[in-house]
Amino acid sequence: MTVLVLDNPELIANAAIAAGFTTATFEAGTRRPHRMKFHYGFNKHSVDNDDMVFLQQHAAYLKEHPSVSVRIHGHSDNFGSEDYNRFLSRLRANAVARILIQEGVAESRILMSHWGSARPLATPEDRAANRRVELEYLTLDVARAL
């Protein structure tokens, strides 16, 4: 038995193009965006322009992978009452969900959790790190079970 090993990147690229792959679909196709946490200013719940670019990348990934759902975890710091912190974390999660929906992600593929200050990322004194939204990708089976 003979095994052919291609270690020439140019040959591999030419073979991929001959098979119908384009660089745009190959590069953009399967990679999940790396940024999963979005931080907020004190008492803020709107997404800034820098974060918008990353959320659009997440929306594109979700549209390309219909078997994947996303859970949006809203968090706040421990400043103020816990009722208000849960409310603020809900506003943050809803803002991210609205952006994903506007970008074409089906609402049925978005789950949300609002934690208030119950799950700090850092010490409770590090308030800036705890004011955040986190994205968690789920397979369709896990999302249905939840």
Q: Is the pTM of this model over 0.75?
A: no
pLDDT in tens, 45-80: 999 888 999 999 999 999 999 999 999 999 999 999
User: Is residue 46 situated within a structural domain?
Assistant: yes
CATH code where residue 87 lies = 3.30.1330.60
How far is residue 62's CA from residue 70's CA, in Å, rounded to a whole number?
Answer: 8
pLDDT in tens, 111-136: 999 999 999 998 888 899 999 999 99
| Kind and range of the H or E run holding 55 | helix 49-64
User: Is residue 3 situated within a structural domain?
Assistant: no
User: Is residue 1 situated within a structural domain?
Assistant: no
- Three-class SS state of 125: coil
Q: What angle do CA 51, 135, 84 make, to 5 degrees?
A: 85
- Three-class SS state of 33: coil
User: Is residue 26 situated within a structural domain?
Assistant: no
- Domain enclosing residue 58, as ranges: 32-145
Q: How many domains does the chain have?
A: 1
User: Is residue 113 situated within a structural domain?
Assistant: yes
User: Is residue 4 situated within a structural domain?
Assistant: no
Mean pLDDT of 103-114: 96
The answer to whether the beta carbons of residues 72 and 93 sit under 8 Å apart is yes
User: Is residue 22 situated within a structural domain?
Assistant: no
User: Is residue 8 situated within a structural domain?
Assistant: no
Residue 39 pairs with which residues in a beta bridge?
132
Count the alpha carbons within 13 Å of 102 in the hemisphere toward its beta carbon.
9
How far is residue 31's CA from residue 28's CA, in Å, rounded to a whole number?
Answer: 7
